[in-house]
A and B are shown apart, each in its own frame.
Chain A
Amino acid sequence: DAKTTQPPSMDCAEGRAANLPCNHSTISGNEYVYWYRQIHSQGPQYIIHGLKNNETNEMASLIITEDRKSSTLILPHATLRDTAVYYCIVRPSMDSNYQLIWGAGTKLIIKP
């Protein structure tokens, strides 16, 4: 079973910030939070990851709560091309288990 919980769907207006929540209440101290997205009919795309500090790159920002039990992915200025399913995944930093457990994700629809 996935170790994360996400809302099944969200809408956001084009040009606004899209804030996608993720709960990972059972996360362990050495587990990272990863975000990927999958645009229709394409392979998943890596977005960002973090351990406990907030992270930012050219695609998005990742805000992780102090207790690390939840996080938010922020797309600062959403465009129509950001419509996709967004997956929040928890994985160990160094562990014998190499599997990523993919949940159902959040279907984000950007509306003009």
Chain B
Amino acid sequence: GAGVSQSPSNKVTEKGKDVELRCDPISGHTALYWYRQRLGQGLEFLIYFQGNSAPDKSGLPSDRFSAERTGESVSTLTIQRTQQEDSAVYLCASSPTPWGEQYFGPGTRLTVT
């Protein structure tokens, strides 16, 4: 079946602009996660959704970052007033249960110039 998809695959933006990243999870997966991965480093947790509510936003690095989810489907991660340190790969994962194995999308590579 279809896996997790993310769009765009690559995004180049100028410093100060807003960007919106999209994640389409596996159908029926109630849990959805966003991570950030800087070059050569491990994954940093950003936010977790159960359905369309976000019980854990503790990983969002600043108030420039926000995310929403529509029901148990698509999620968007928005970064306002982008900074160069926001350059990274943003990964989305979904899971059939909150504590189950996570299935990852291919990521969105964000470059802020």
Contact = CB atoms under 8 A, between A and B. Distances in A.
Interface of A: 2, 34, 36, 42-46, 49, 87, 91-105
Given A43-B104, A44-B91, A102 B43 contact: yes
Contacts of B99: 91-95, 98
Main secondary structure of the interface of A (DSSP, over half): loop
Contacts of B42: 2, 87, 102-105
A50 to B, nearest CB: 12
A98 B43 contact: no
Given A95-B99, A98-B99, A104-B42, A43 B91 contact: yes
A43 B107 contact: yes
Contact of A98 (B48, B91, B104, B105): B48
Given A43-B104, A43-B107, A87-B42, A99 B91 contact: no
